[in-house]
Amino acid sequence: MLGVKTTLHGGPTAAGIVACALCCGLWLAFLLLAHIRIRSLTLAQTPAPLTARHAVLAALCPVATAVCAAALIV
């Protein structure tokens, strides 16, 4: 919500809307990854280890979201 408020403050710009949409998309991707991991942990008796690809994606989503949020503020 703060990203949307920041984007719309002083009138919406194309760059602000794109950055806000990117932040929302990254946040949703992180939630999807977390949901998949939680589901796999609850369904299996001994869950499979986290793959390197999923670990990298889970680490990069919040970092990229923070970068987009910082770009909205500046």
**Domain ranges within the chain, ordered by starting residue:** 2-73
Tell me: pLDDT of 4 over 70: no
Question: Residue 3: pLDDT band by 50, 70, 90 thresholds?
Answer: low
Sign of CA dihedral 38, 43, 46, 52: negative
pLDDT for 51 equals 84
Closest Cα partner for 4 from 15, 16, 14?
16
* One-letter amino acid for residue 55 of the chain: A
pLDDT per residue as tens digits for the range 13-54: 787 778 778 878 888 888 888 898 888 888 877 777 878 988
